[in-house]
Amino acid sequence: MLKEYRTLLPYLKEYRFRYVAGLAFLIAVDAAQLLIPQFIRQAVDLVSSGRFSTGAVASIAARIVLVALFIAAGRFLWRYFIHGSSRRIEARLRDRLFAKLMELGPRFHQSNKIGDLMARATNDMQSIRMAAGMGFVTLVDGLFMSSAVLVIMFARNPEVAAWTVIPLPPVTALIIVFGSLVGKRFKKVQEIYAKLSELAQETLAGIRVVKSFVKEDAFSERFAEANDRYRKASMSLVAIFGFFFPFIGFLSGLSTLVLVLAGGNAALANAMSPGDIAAMLVYLEMLVWPLMGAGFMVNMLQRGAASLKRVNEVLDTEPDIAPEPGALELVPSGGLEFRSLSFSYPDAASPALRDVSLRLEAGRTLGILGRIGSGKSTLLKLLPRLVDPPPGAVFVGGRDAREYHPDWLRKAFGFVPQDTFLFSDSIRANVLFGAPDLDAERFARVTAVAAIDRDVELFPRGWDTVVGEKGLTLSGGQKQRVAIARALAVDPEILVFDDALSAVDTETEERILAALLEEREGRTNVIVSNRVSTLRHADLVAVLDGGRLAELGTHDELLGRDGFYAEIARLQALSAEAPPEGGAPEGAAASGARDAETGGAA
């Protein structure tokens, strides 16, 4: 368990002076609390003697009030220093976890669900904070108070003290068993909570699909079942606490009974005064708290260890894409080359790419066509090392892509994916995502090239209209055009379009391409599309089939060959020319594009 706390050692060292100050005030408060039973002893003995004055009792009462004020101030200060430090550690550790999540590559994020990662960044962090704060307090407080109280009790009357503490040793054994049970059950609770979070996140993210298939009741039932599993796991943990603390109370009650009997006999034998018995009763109550506090401590330390283990699993994960020693920190130029590139995903049955070789000079445009699963997206991911390429296979700016620091390599690229992701912010903020200091003139230019400027009047607040989560309030075409403007705003050396015009009509596509090629003249572009009308603008077209480079050449050269590219061009031409009354469906060009995805079978 304790090995998991190694993660907190640097933070504990950094905030050691705050912890030392907090501990000093904590011990001072405990010492002050030990004085109060002595004041009670004096008052009881004074009253029982029958020879007392109001002034004498008032003097004792005044001292109790002063000590109580000191205790109140001391409690505030130790909580300020210790709990304040635990809050700081929680914030620092959460920042570190988030930074690690940003560092880790696609393989990690594909194998870990968002809900589970969210649980680690929220629920687990709270348990770690409690362990670094209150768990630390109960440990020190329990050791000091129990030691001090036992010393005082045995100093007053060893025989009575010995009889009084007889029921208490079983608590130690109980605490050991309790800690083991709590740790296992709490880990299970956290895992079930993570699955509950995953289900809620997934359902809300796909709420439109859920509603369109009228599956609200089915998902409500799934959530209710997961929620019930979480309730049962939590109740299993509560049941242990339900037994532990009443049992501690029972043992403390036995100790009180023994003290009354043994102390009463000692008082009758004049071995103890009534004040001694009253003071020892208060000390016994003080002794019970450290014993109960030990249960709290074990609980919090076990929970903290279980949560730290989950957090450490992320922090200890090595990034699958890391800079090579002496990696170049410069933005490469636009030349691209693939040399006998073969690539396989882990656990994949077959390679995604096989012996792909092509070269694109800087300032030219590469078009890519291929069926689903032909390796188009993989090829694009290898360029900026979103997926790590093998050495000596992918070259950018004349150098192996692995020679560059990944951050600097990616600065050369502007990506427009097919599945556009927009942040829940204004349209302006989404466009300026990669270039927050873009001037108004350049903003107007990139939005015009992306043809999103013509829709600005449709937005309730113009460019400041806030889109829903993932761009929920925009159409597919509008989202793609915002993404195009976002990529153009950073003015990248290499612009990559991953079928980024699939959701716009042919007229808008032509308008965007014409403006884009004019804007990007002299810069490198990579365009993936299943529309030959789009690829005809490229200087070089690559056709992928089953991970292999099936065809390579200019648009005119490929049309002159009797290959897949020429076949798709004929199918799309026929689809575009077919009259509506002849049975051609609306959006025939898009249908022709889909033929490329399915292989063009007719």
SS in 3 state form for 86-99?
Answer: HHHHHHHHHHHHHH
State which residues form the domain around 168. 11-315
The single-letter DSSP state of residue 494 is E
pLDDT at 275: 82
Phi, psi at residue 402, to the nearest 5°? Answer: -75, -15
What pLDDT score was predicted for residue 346? Answer: 78
Judge whether 412 lies within some domain. no
Handedness of CA 344, 350, 354, 360 (dihedral sign): negative
Q: Based on the structure, what is the number of domains in the chain?
A: 1
First to last CA, the chain: 65
Report residues of the chain scoring pLDDT below 70.
1, 171-173, 175-176, 179-180, 183, 291-293, 295, 576-602
**Pairing mode, if any, of strands 336-343 and 353-360?**
antiparallel
What is the model's pTM?
0.72
**Would you give the DSSP letter of residue 419?**
S
CA atoms of 293 and 313, how far apart (whole Å): 30
Q: 84-103 and 123-130 helices cross at what angle (nearest 10)?
A: 140
The model's pLDDT over 244-300, given as tens digits with 9 standing for 90+, comes to: 777 777 777 777 788 788 878 887 777 778 888 888 888 888 877 776 667 677 778
Three-state SS sequence of 381-400: HHCCCCCCCCCCCEEECCEE
For residues 363 and 525, the answer to whether their CB atoms sit within 8 Å is no
DSSP-derived 3-state class of residue 245? helix
**DSSP state, residue 352:** S
Q: Is residue 133 part of a domain?
A: yes
Residue 490 lies in a domain: no
Is residue 478 within 8 Å of 504, Cβ to Cβ? no
Distance from C-alpha of 602 to C-alpha of 598, rounded to nearest angstrom = 10
Phi, psi of 540, deg, nearest 5:
-145, 135
Which of 527, 435, 416, 436 minimizes the C-alpha distance to 480?
Answer: 416
Q: Please report the pLDDT score of residue 204 as a whole number.
A: 78
Pick from 519, 570, 567: nearest CA to 543: 567
Neighbours of 220 (CB within 10 A): 12
Residue for token pair 């100790």: 255
Q: What is the pLDDT of residue 25?
A: 94
Domain with residue 310: its CATH number is 1.20.1560.10
The SS3 of residue 551 is strand
CB 405 within 8 A of CB 328: yes
Q: What is the pLDDT of residues 17-68, one digit of tens each?
A: 999 999 999 999 999 999 988 888 888 888 877 777 778 888 888 999 999 9
- Can you name the residues that pair with 577 across neighbouring β-strands? none
Closest CA to 82 of 26, 157, 158, 44: 26
Establish if 48 belongs to a structural domain: yes
Provide the pairing of β-strand 394-396 with 336-343: antiparallel
Q: What does 248-274 look like in DSSP terms, one character per residue?
A: HHHHHHHHHHHHHHHHHHHHHTTSS-H
541 part of a folded domain: no
In-domain check, residue 258: yes
For the beta carbon of residue 202, count every other beta carbon within 10 angstroms. Answer: 16
User: Are the C-beta atoms of 342 and 369 separated by less than 8 Å?
Assistant: no
Say if 370 falls within a structural domain.
Answer: no
Question: Is 196 a member of any domain?
Answer: yes
